[in-house]
Each structure stands twice: as structure tokens, then as C-alpha cells.
Structure 1
């Protein structure tokens, strides 16, 4: 018996210049303006939350509504909360909070730190905040493992479903823009991503049982040492399918490099050119962009790759269109 296929049934975005997945295919820079989180989650969503958490909550609410798991005018889940998990990816999300609290402790002592600020220093604050806000009581995970982290988060979310731990998973990728992040990376903070993307994953069978049509279906996943090895593993072998119709590349990958493992006629798309370096959010953004590409008539699987080609840290994923039985 073949394994149950995992579908994307909801997509949510919280970044300027893209209010739906197909808009992620833009090539011109999105501009320096910031996404207005208050317009989506209101004062309650802002209170005592750092920027990364605010962005994640905005993307999550859009994804949950897109998947018909919460109503358009509310936030109460339409399914039991314990059947929905959360997997978040962010390498730099609460770095500003951690650095600020550390500096305040060194300068003033620990007894002067606000008890409302310290929870935001938790490494799991983004994932736990999404779960608490929407009453999602399934497994709750935070991944912070480099530029391939976003695709890893999608894969881990799918794994929770195939293992029978949950029926749905909200996968969030988020990175904020601030001077502390810019200083750590040695880059102009105004050129970095400030935004989030969220997906709802569930099995095709569960989606159809709820009367929801999948936006896309997840294919093969690989994690290898080097981009070439990762792509070759995805596209070669007896289980290989048709050639990809688009390749969402890691940041700065050349349009057609010598020894490129993908035929040069396959269009490339680097999301960071329009939205800025995205670190742990990139893979989730790529998956959202793939659903937009497929929804706009793209044919063949979308090839997603994210990671550092100089280390054992390149993740790859195929995303395919859904074909009704």
C-alpha cells in the first residue's frame, strides 16, 4: 500500500508586497515598508509579543482560515485542538529580545527585568505562541538549524501526520528585521526579510473528508551535503518523476552554473531577490510560492532547495499539483 500523501490545504502570508501566494513570484524588490501586524491580530496580538511572534500569528491566522480550520470572523478551531500541531522555523526570531535582556541583566541585574519580557527569550516562543493563541494542543516544535530550516520544518510537519500524532499541522517560517539581526549577519537590516509564511498540512484523505481541495501535494524530500547532491537525489533514481517546471533556489544561486544538476531550461526563482535574505523562513516561503505557481497554471513539480552549499546543510523538496481522483 502506498503511503498517504500530504497536502497543503492552507497558505498564509505576512509580508509587504505579497497578499497571496502567486504574488511571491514577483521579481522586483518589495520595498522597505513593514507589514502592519496590528491590522490582522489587533492589540491583543501585540501585547507583550516580539516582532517575530506578531508576524507568525498573522501568517498563521490567514493559513488556518484558508484551510477552513477557523472561521473568517473568529479564531475558534473547527476541529479538536489536540489534533493540530505546530512546527515553526526561525533562526533569528527572538535574537533582539535575548540580546536586550542579556544587556539589561549585565547592566541592572536580573531583578530589574520585566516578567512580561522574559517569556519572549524562550527559543520556542514563536511555536508556543501560535499554539496558545489558536488552542492547538498537538505536538509543538521549533526548528532553528540554519538556512535549510524552513524545508526541514515542512518535512517534520508531514512526519507528525504520517506518524499519526496529529491530523493537521501549522508550519510557520518567520524572520524579523532589526539592527541586532543585521549586525550579527553583517548586512544592512533594511535589506533583510521582515515577514512570515504559514502552511496548513494534512493528508489528502483528511482534506477530502473535510470537503477541502488541496492547493498542492508534497513530494520527495532530501537533505544532503551540497546542493548538487541534494538535487540529484531528488530527481534521479527509479522513483524519479517528470522534470521540474520551476526551481526555487537558495539565496544567490546563479541562473545557470557550470555543472548545474538541473537542466538550464528550467526557470529559476530566488525569493530573496524580492523579499530579502530569509534564513529559516525561506523554505516555508518557497512552499507557499510553489502553491501560487501551481495555482497560476504551473505544470510539473516545483523544486525547492534551501541551505548552505558549503556544508552538510542543503534541504530539498518537490511540491506537486493535486489531481482529484
Structure 2
């Protein structure tokens, strides 16, 4: 007599309705954050060639972007500034009239509390050398001198109206420095998102086109070595100890193991950034006809969510939010 299996796990995969009912991982539009690039002195959106479908936006066009994001029901936007002038110390980052601080004010007014306005707190877009901090005489990044600038940036961004500051520079002590400055100014309401496990990754390539980076060399002396998973967990826990409200792993896809480990031990929310290279790979592969675009996007996001991310920064945020509202399956 044939011995048939007692447990037939396929039963729960029989129909779309059953699969939806027993799904272990779900994604909601409010868990998505849209990165937005705002460029100084342009009159119309400028497409980014390496990131199909993504553009740099003029300041006057930002309210329309915010309106679309709010209507989509996503959780927030993360603003990046692209200035016309850069200098050795990134002075545009702390100037109230610098492009990023102006963009924060415009976005906060347009959002009117319907989504969170977040701002990138880093110097790389504002320095003429492209590094994330102030340089010492020997050309290395001066960690502690950079912290002083970050503290001033935190105050400038908070004053402009940012609800969440994305500390992405990977300087030791950056969370403590920004938290101390904000608390001393009475800004205990501002949320600090620490880019805790930010790896020195090749997947940032298209982003550097988006912000017109002037970087020569690399950032391996301050961003994490891709081979080190345990160190990423240590960085996250150190940032929590310094006062981070949220910690993040970046990139997302190549570091799902780190994301899962951080999520398993973190007492604060854990986010992930699906970076420009991850986006570009799927878009270019889909354009070549070698993968199903929508299924690949959905599968990539579900995988990040399954690994433990409670929110995801992704360039597909608005599009995917529409799919979710329509009840479409992501994988």
C-alpha cells in the first residue's frame, strides 16, 4: 500500500485567497519611505539616467511630490539636497538658506502632518571632496571635527521642520552628538534615525549620480566592511545606547542576514534602505526582458520585510503603495 504524506503543506497554497490568508509577511503603504532628490537652480525635473523613473526635482516642484506621496499613503519622504556650490567643510548643509534646509521647510508645509518629512544628515552632498565629513590635514576624515558640524546640521534641519533626521555619515558618536545638541536646544521631539549598519557598497553607484557626487576614492575607513556581520549588530546597539530612536541597515538586499540579526536584538524599530543599485538592477534587467518587473520588485520588498525591516526606504514607494491599495499580490 502506498504511504501518502500525512502533512500536505501544498494545501495552503491552493488559491490566491488561501495564500493571502496565511501569508506570514505583509507590507502596508505606511511602511514605505520615498527618497527624494531636490536640486538647486533647476526649472523642471531632471531624469537620472542610471535610475530609470527617478528624477532630481526643482524646489518649486517639491509640493507636488509631497502631495503625491501623501495621497499614496506612504509613511514619509527622505530628502536629499543637490547644491550648486560645495566647499571643503560643507557649509551649505548648515546654511538655513541651503537647498536641503529650504526643501525641508517646503516639504513640511506641504505635508501638513500627513506624512513624516525626513532629512539626510550627512556632508557628502555638500563637500567639494565628496566625503561624509571634514578632512584632516593628512586627507583623512576627522571624526570629531565632523561631529561638531553634524550637531549644527541637526539643529538647522530641526529648525527647518524635519521630523526625522537620517544620520548617514557613519562617524563614531554621531547619534550622541546630535542628540546632545538637540536636547540642549529643547528639541527633544526630533527623531534620530541612525544609519547604523551602513556598508561600503558598490550598490551606491547610481545614488552618486543622483547627488552628483564629487567623491574621489572610497569611504572604507568609515563605512562597514561587507564581510562583517557581527560588527553591524554592534554598531546598531551602540547607536541605541547613544539615543537613536530607529536604527537602519543599508543596503538592504545584500545584507538581509545583518538585518535579521539586528531585528532580533534591537529594542527600537529597525528599518532598511533598498538602495539605488538594487533599484537599478531590477529596472535595467526588466527593461532587457530577463525578469518580470513587478514580481521582482514585490519579491525584493517582501524579502526585506520578512528579514525584519519595519519600514523600507525604496524608490518604488509610491508605485508599490498603489499596488497594495489595489489589493495586488507583491510576490
Q: Normalized against structure 2, the TM-score is what?
A: 0.32
State which structure, 1 or 2, has the greater radius of gyration over its C-alpha atoms. 2
Greater RCO structure (CA 8 Å; 6+ sep): 1
Q: Normalized against structure 1, the TM-score is what?
A: 0.32
